[in-house]
Amino acid sequence: MHPGFSVFAGPPVDPSQLQSLESQARYITRPAIAMDSLKTRPDGSLVLQTPPDPRTGQTSIALDPLEWIHRITAHIPERGQHTRRSYGAYSNRSRVTAKVTRDFARPTAQPSRVDEDSEFAKETRRTWARLLAKILKWIRCCVPAALR
């Protein structure tokens, strides 16, 4: 499930642009989930049809009504708060795994030291600086602000 929502912050739509207004109205009234995928069981629990889970292959989830409400509203932050999720190398699990691996790794032969003022070291730093500048430029240009 996507952990957030987006807001259009561009120029206002001119009232004479009916097609654009109609498109935005359809978007605003679109439900958070397809209600066709939600079924009620005789015991009162809910069954939500989902795409196949890559690990288990399950295509549905049985939920208590209160649990369903919690899941559908979990991405809404408290008033005045921002929700921030970290993925990949920045996630808690990734940091813990890296620390455990680092703590239990056996020391190997010491890497050869490169003279900090050598031309090779300077060129290496310049190469890394160029690479990082490209990555930051790509992030600013192509990654939506909500994901940064």
Q: What pLDDT, in 10s, does the model give residues 73-92?
A: 877 777 777 766 666 666 66
- 90 exposure class (CB count in 10 Å sphere: 0-12, 13-18, 19+): exposed
H/E run at residue 49: strand 46-49
CB 33 within 8 A of CB 72: yes
Q: Indicate the SS3 state at residue 78.
A: coil
Encode pLDDT of 12-62 as tens digits: 778 788 888 888 888 777 777 788 888 999 999 999 898 898 888 899 989
Q: Where are the domains of the chain?
A: 14-102
Identify the weakest region by mean pLDDT among 11-20, 66-75, 106-115, 139-148: 106-115
Q: What pLDDT sits at residue 12?
A: 78
Phi, psi for residue 61 in degrees, rounded to 5? -130, 130
CA–CA separation, 14 and 21 (whole Å):
8
Q: What pLDDT sits at residue 7?
A: 66
For the record, the structure tokens of 143 come out as 């990654």
